[in-house]
């Protein structure tokens, strides 16, 4: 048998192969951190859109949960200054604004003047005093008045004597003369501003009294001064009702109706008034006309010479529309909202506002006739709602 021949392999080569086999390591198993890192890598547009949609949906859910209705009882609403009203369609008129001046009511103004030449003896009132009807104002002295007082005293005495005798004891002519004389003496006394009967004195002194209640707005004399007939001593004004003359362009003044409503504003004071007169003459220089408003001067807030702002109803209203006070319309999360009462709770309702007319905003969509909405204190209600949302967020 012939021996088999094997190929010769050097010993060094065997050693190298052995070492190479020992040095090979198995494939490494990915760690959890590597997997997580790999999952955070970009995965395409579809994955991004899915995440954005999820975030938006979550945001809407949070917004719906945040705008929770607010419940308040009547006492709490009143304390917070929140007022509700029921909506109804009505015509809206934008008021005309015009400057105005307060003037004395001429029908409640009296000039206190003597009817005969006289001297000032005593003063009983002064400028700015508020006096009652019949209150003494000033005492004067006059020679003519003294003569009238004496004639009246004699005539009344003679008339009383004739009356006591009767028609049977005196002639008809004598009776008639006595009656005519006393009537003439009384008329003369009244013409001088004296009482119609004798007071027992004929010294020429007489006192001018207030014919009605009011305030003395003018005082132009001194004691001892000689006063001519018709000279104004006092100006007595009843300020319970005053006039306001508003100045408007002639074409606007013609739109104002007699007996129409008006608002007179002086600083923080706002008083209602009624249009009583519209001038029939236009100023040649300014082309403006006056509109007179009568105002009940509650609290004695208006005085002659005050400058005010006047708001007048120009008439010609539009078709009935739903509207809320502009202050009741708020912005909440980018939307125009009005607080509406539903099942005893107040919640913001999205609305579509229309044009603004005066201090009202037309509501084109979102509310209906009969809805009860907040018309005053909407900002207070919004603040309370936002405060409640912040409290819930902190709790989470």
CATH classification of the domain holding 308 = 2.40.30.170
The count of other CB atoms within 10 Å of the CB of residue 289 is 21
The tens digit of pLDDT for each residue in 171-196 reads 989 999 999 999 999 999 888 888 76
Q: Greater confidence, 154 or 38?
A: 154
What pLDDT, on the 0 to 100 scale, is given for residue 118? Answer: 95
Instruction: Name the strands in the sheet holding 323-325, side by side, starting at the edge strand that comes first in the sequence.
Output: 323-325, 360-365, 352-357
What pTM was estimated for this model as a whole? 0.54
Same domain flag for 265 and 327: no
Same domain flag for 389 and 352: yes
- In this prediction, residues 55-66 reach a mean pLDDT of 44
What pLDDT, on the 0 to 100 scale, is given for residue 275? Answer: 95
Band (161; pLDDT cuts 50, 70, 90) = very high
- In this prediction, residues 133-143 reach a mean pLDDT of 95
What pLDDT, on the 0 to 100 scale, is given for residue 254? Answer: 86
What pLDDT, on the 0 to 100 scale, is given for residue 35? Answer: 39
Q: How far apart (Å, rounded) are the C-alpha atoms in residues 84 and 373? A: 5
Same domain flag for 265 and 329: no
Q: What stretches of 179-233 adopt beta strand conformation (E)? A: 205-209, 214-219, 226-227
For 305, the domain range is 96-106+239-312
- Asked if pLDDT for residue 34 goes beyond 60, the answer is no
Q: Is 325 domain-assigned?
A: yes
The count of other CB atoms within 10 Å of the CB of residue 52 is 10
Band (313; pLDDT cuts 50, 70, 90) = confident
- Asked if pLDDT for residue 295 goes beyond 60, the answer is yes
Encode 119-182 in three state secondary structure.
Answer: EEEEECCCCCCEECCCCEEEEEECHHHHHHHHHHHHHHHHHHHHHHHCCCCCCHHHHHHHHHHH
What pLDDT, on the 0 to 100 scale, is given for residue 67? Answer: 59
Q: Is 163 domain-assigned?
A: yes
Q: Is 188 domain-assigned?
A: yes
Q: Is 122 domain-assigned?
A: no
Instruction: Name the strands in the sheet holding 234-237, side by side, starting at the edge strand that comes first in the sequence.
Output: 109-112, 234-237, 214-219, 130-131
The tens digit of pLDDT for each residue in 330-384 reads 998 889 999 999 988 999 999 999 888 778 899 999 999 999 999 999 998 888 8
DSSP 308-353: EEEEE------S-B-EEEGGG-EEETTEEEEEEEETTEEEEEE-EE
The tens digit of pLDDT for each residue in 42-57 reads 444 454 444 544 444 4
Same domain flag for 343 and 294: no
Domain closes at, from 288, 312, 336: 312
Band (166; pLDDT cuts 50, 70, 90) = confident
Same domain flag for 275 and 329: no
Q: Which of 265, 291, 271, 295 is nearest to 280 (CA)?
A: 291
- In this prediction, residues 75-93 reach a mean pLDDT of 88
Q: Is 11 domain-assigned?
A: no
Band (142; pLDDT cuts 50, 70, 90) = very high
Q: Is 64 domain-assigned?
A: no
Same domain flag for 326 and 387: yes
The tens digit of pLDDT for each residue in 270-281 reads 999 999 999 888
What pLDDT, on the 0 to 100 scale, is given for residue 198? Answer: 66
Distances (CA, A) of 360 to 232, 259, 261, 309: 50, 23, 17, 19
- In this prediction, residues 197-219 reach a mean pLDDT of 88
Same domain flag for 88 and 101: no
- In this prediction, residues 65-87 reach a mean pLDDT of 84
What pLDDT, on the 0 to 100 scale, is given for residue 10? Answer: 43
What pLDDT, on the 0 to 100 scale, is given for residue 191? Answer: 87
Band (392; pLDDT cuts 50, 70, 90) = low
Q: Is 132 domain-assigned?
A: no
Q: Is 280 domain-assigned?
A: yes
Same domain flag for 83 and 102: no
Mean pLDDT of the chain: 82
What pLDDT, on the 0 to 100 scale, is given for residue 391? Answer: 64
Query: For tokens 């945040």, what's the residue?
Result: 66
What pLDDT, on the 0 to 100 scale, is given for residue 39? Answer: 40
- Asked if pLDDT for residue 41 goes beyond 90, the answer is no
Domain closes at, from 203, 220, 248: 203
Domain closes at, from 255, 287, 312: 312
Same domain flag for 101 and 247: yes
Number of domains in the chain: 3
Instruction: Name the strands in the sheet holding 136-141, side by side, starting at the edge strand that comes first in the sequence.
Output: 205-209, 136-141, 118-123, 226-227
Question: For the ranges 51-65, 79-93, 225-239, 265-279, which has the lowest average pLDDT?
Answer: 51-65
């Amino acid at each position: 048998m012939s021996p088999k021949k094997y190929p010769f392999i050097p010993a060094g080569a065997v050693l190298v192969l052995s070492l190479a086999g020992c040095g090979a390591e198995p494939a490494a198993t990915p760690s959890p951190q590597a997997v997580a890192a790999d999952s955070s890598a970009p995965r395409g547009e579809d994955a991004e859109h899915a995440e954005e949609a999820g975030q938006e949906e979550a945001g809407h859910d949070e917004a719906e949960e945040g705008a929770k209705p607010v419940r308040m009882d009547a006492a709490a609403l009143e304390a917070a200054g929140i007022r509700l009203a029921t909506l109804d369609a009505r015509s809206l008129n934008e008021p005309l604004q015009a400057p105005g001046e307060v003037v004395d009511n001429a029908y409640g103004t009296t000039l206190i003047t003597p009817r005969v030449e006289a001297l000032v003896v005593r003063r009983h009132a002064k400028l700015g005093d508020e006096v009652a009807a019949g209150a003494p104002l000033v005492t004067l002295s006059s020679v003519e008045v003294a003569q009238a007082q004496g004639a009246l005293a004699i005539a009344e005495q003679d008339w009383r004597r004739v009356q006591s005798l009767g028609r049977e004891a005196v002639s008809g002519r004598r009776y008639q003369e006595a009656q005519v004389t006393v009537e003439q003496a009384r008329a003369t006394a009244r013409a001088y501003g004296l009482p119609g009967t004798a007071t027992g004195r004929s010294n020429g002194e007489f006192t001018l009294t207030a014919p009605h209640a009011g305030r003395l707005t003018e005082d132009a004399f001194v004691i001892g001064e000689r006063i001519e007939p018709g000279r104004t001593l006092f100006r007595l004004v009843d300020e319970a009702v005053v006039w306001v003359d508003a100045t408007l362009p002639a074409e606007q003044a013609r739109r104002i109706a007699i007996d129409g409503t008006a608002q007179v504003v002086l600083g923080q004071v706002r008083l209602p008034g009624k249009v009583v007169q519209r001038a029939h003459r236009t100023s040649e220089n300014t082309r403006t006309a006056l509109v007179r408003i009568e105002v009940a001067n509650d609290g004695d807030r208006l005085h002659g010479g005050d400058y005010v702002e006047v708001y007048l109803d120009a008439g010609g209203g539009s078709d009935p529309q739903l509207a809320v006070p502009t202050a009741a319309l708020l912005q909440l999360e980018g939307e125009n909202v009005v607080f509406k009462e539903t099942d005893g709770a107040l919640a913001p309702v999205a609305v579509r506002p229309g044009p603004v007319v005066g201090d009202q905003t037309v509501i084109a969509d979102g509310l209906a006739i009969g809805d009860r909405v907040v018309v005053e204190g909407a900002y207070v209600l919004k603040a309370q709602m936002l405060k409640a949302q912040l409290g819930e967020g902190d709790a989470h």
